[in-house]
Chain A
């Protein structure tokens, strides 16, 4: 975009230089790195979705396939991978809920609900839902 205030004027306006961003820009600041990690969580969440799909497929293929799949899941490497996924999923959820107040402005009468209250409500709902799902799965 150019406002073209005086396009013909060149004498004291020599060519400008435009510094480009290094490929490693996200390593320059801790906040940039945390942002990139947050974006990277999507890869791990997607990986878990694929694992879930493979589980459903194994279930549809009968008892033998199911047992083989269960054995695969119990390998140390797979358990370690699940640990990674859990850590990234928790980080993803926490960052998601802490960013919620930036998009959401809740007004009650004249007062604006403080960000901390919004985050607390979100996290409480998240913990509640997780506890309910855990109860359903573990009591079955």
Chain B
């Protein structure tokens, strides 16, 4: 072992002690090793009790998000060399409940994601013989950016509003709602307005912009939320002044099943 770097991990082992504590490890400073590689080294060689999530190791699955020196990051895409001489402090993602060591409780996020109905909602009856539901490149471009979200939750960790207001539906969920709102095959805007216009919806965002800075996929949730605010404000006044003219809620897409 030539060069090494110190890794400090905030651990939480509720069956051993009620409060989280810091533990330090020393790992080889291999070139091209990510922070995730260091954690894997610790688990394999130094301390098998360390718990963390990971899967693809290539920035696609969104499982290995953690706080690295106080900033939310995908640990597979964050390299040890950038943090010389160390130490590197690794914590579970901020603004989430922690279940164990670096593992956060994702239930809250999953519930919020579901609440914006991020799936295709349409009344159009289509048969299998109709073939693909094609779009032009321009129609795809209108929302493609928002499809790139990998649900890594870094934006939730970066956003102070999420930390201060637990009802806030959050950046990724709104960006994903917009992914369907801007899809010309979808007509579920009205169903999504119910969540996004309500308490905890898009208007709880105070435009800090940290979500877009943290996003590893350049989804730009900040932009998605501000664009929704413009659409949502129009809808709010429509519903207030002339409720009949407002977009009528349609089915939420769940009931539509393959016969």
| Chain A residues within 8 Å of B, Cβ to Cβ | 1-5, 13-19, 21, 25-26, 28, 31-32, 35, 39, 99, 101-105, 110
Contacts and interface: CB of A to CB of B under 8 A. Distances in A.
Contact of B229 (A21, A25, A103): A103
B77 to A, nearest CB: 20
Given A1-B112, A21-B163, A99 B213 contact: no
Nearest to A13: B99
A17 B98 contact: yes
Interface residues of B, number: 38
B114 A18 contact: no
Interface string B187-223: 0000000000000000000111110010000001011
Nearest to B227: A103
A85 to B, nearest CB: 22
B86 interface: no
Contact of B108 (A2, A15, A32): A2
Contacts of A14: 14-15, 99-100
A99 B138 CA distance: 25
B107 A105 contact: no
24 contacts: A1-B111, A2-B108, A2-B111, A3-B114, A4-B107, A13-B99, A14-B14, A14-B100, A15-B14, A16-B97, A17-B20, A19-B98, A21-B95, A21-B160, A21-B163, A31-B208, A31-B209, A32-B210, A99-B207, A99-B209, A103-B227, A103-B229, A105-B227, A110-B138
B14 A3 contact: no
Interface string B75-101: 000000000000000000011111110
B158 to A, nearest CB: 9
A94 to B, nearest CB: 14
Contacts of B97: 16-18
B160 A16 contact: no
Given A21-B164, A26-B160, A102 B209 contact: yes
| 7 nearest A-B pairs in the assembled complex, by CB-CB distance | A1-B111, A103-B226, A16-B97, A14-B14, A21-B163, A102-B226, A102-B223
A17 B229 contact: no
Interface string B1-22: 0000000000010110001100
A39 to B, nearest CB: 7
A41 B252 CA distance: 42
Given A2-B107, A26-B160, 4 more contacts: A19-B20, A21-B95, A32-B160, A35-B209
Contacts of B20: 17, 19
B164 to A, nearest CB: 6
Given A2-B111, A21-B163, A31 B98 contact: no
A99 B100 CA distance: 39
Given A3-B114, A103-B226, A39 B163 contact: no
Contacts of B98: 16-19
Interface centre among B97, B160, B206, B222 (most CB of A within 10 A): B160
A31 B226 contact: no
Nearest to B167: A1
Contacts of A21: 95, 160, 163-164
A45 B114 CA distance: 40
B201 to A, nearest CB: 13
